[in-house]
Amino acid sequence: MENLSVPFDRRVWQESKALRDAGWDVHVICPQGTKQDREPYAEIDGVKIHRYPLKAATGGPRGYLFEYSAAVWHTFRLARKIGPVDVVHACNPPDLLFLVARWLKRGGAKFIFDQHDLVPELYLSRFNRGEDFLYRAVCRLEKSTYATADVVISTNESYRQVALKRGGMDPDKVFVVRSAPAVERFHEVPEEEELRKGKPHLLCYLGVMGPQDGVDYALRALAKIRDELGRTDWHAVFMGGGDTFDQMVALSRTLGLDDLVEFTGRVSDADLLRYLSAADVCLAPDPLNPLNDVSTMNKIMEYMAMSKPIVSFDLVEARVSADEAAVYAAANDESEFAKLVVKLLDDPAERKRMGQLGRERVAGPLSWENSRRALLSAYAAALA
């Protein structure tokens, strides 16, 4: 994988441990992280992790070309070091790791493509450049990845349909393995009033901060809660980092939210539980765009695991995940988003009902146990 380090990427870490438990010898090749995940090699819980140095892209598409070229070279280098494998399991973005898979397939390996993102839609949503030369190039890379894959793992049914229709995959070779939190990791801890900074209510955002993640929509909605709805009885915490972290901090200052909004950066598991346990409402401000509408948001699943009510924009897969555990503002309507936050703040009984429904969903039909079984079925299909 290229997008995150392991075990920080929860989906890949859960998959790795599930395969380990099923008797596989699991190696992970990924970039180095920024804190405790910087070691070039580590063995954690029986999973062997090989990490390479990688500088994040800057300067638009050209920066990604340099980042991805370095990632593919390092992945080749480490794959050669590991030696022959039975299955190569590659996650995107980028849709370039099929190059490594092709080389490993020459030694008899099977290739499972774990499609975390629809890269053509990601390109359109992130860069807003239209269907230009680079868009056509990423479409060709996606097509090559599908053509190389023996089996495709999709994160939801929307992605599965893309694999069938755009990728031309055999339906028997495409499996839905939803990203689902391990519910035992998420549990409420005693509330700490000081996290609210003297306010009656706490709002929380958890996740990556990139151009398509909507933190700017959330900040503008919070400004409307203050300016248009006259409410300052809340404190908001934004947990996570990403390409636009500094820009979002600057936007918060521009909107005059310094006394109401706090940015923590990436947090430990313990701090995540502290903040989410104290939260009254959780924010999922991902705007409607070609990618977000059909993507499963990890933040929504984790809010549900913590029994928290959610305010989201009205996206297809957000409704599939949260159902009645969330309320939905019209796409990209910051004023309606603000009103729904206030409505939930004023209705503690509804917040409790929604939180209970969410927890039941991630512990039942959307549980990781169901995803684990689908993952092992995908491996059986690849080997067959």
pLDDT tens-place string over residues 304-321 = 999 999 999 999 999 999
Pick the range with the lowest mean pLDDT from 59-68, 176-185, 251-260: 59-68
Element (H, E) at 79: helix 61-82
263-268 mean pLDDT = 92
Q: 86 in a domain, yes or no?
A: yes
Q: Are residues 306 and 170 in the same domain?
A: no
Residue 273 belongs to a domain? yes
pLDDT digits (tens, 9 = 90+) for 25-54: 999 999 998 777 889 999 999 999 999 999
C-beta separation of 177 from 378 below 8 A: yes
Q: Locate 187 and state its tokens.
A: 């549990």
For residues 88 and 121, membership in a common domain is answered with yes
Q: At what angle do helices 98-105 and 133-148 cross, to 10 degrees?
A: 30
Same domain, yes or no: 19 and 133: yes
Whether the bond into 93 is cis, omega within 30 of 0: yes
Percent of the chain whose pLDDT exceeds 90:
86
Residues 171 and 194 placed together within one structural domain of the fold: no
Answer yes or no: is 301 within a domain: yes
CATH number at residue 254: 3.40.50.2000
Please state the pTM of the whole predicted model. 0.91
Q: Which structural domain, as residue segments, surrounds residue 300?
A: 184-363
The closest alpha carbon to 235, from 280, 274, 192, 268, belongs to 280
29 and 151 fall within a common domain:
yes
At residue 59 the predicted structure's pLDDT band, cuts being 50, 70 and 90, is low
Per-residue pLDDT at 126: 83
In a domain, 334, yes or no: yes
Residue in 62, 59, 63, 43 with CA at minimum distance from that of residue 51 = 43
pLDDT of 58: 73
Strand (E) or helix (H) holding 281: strand 281-284
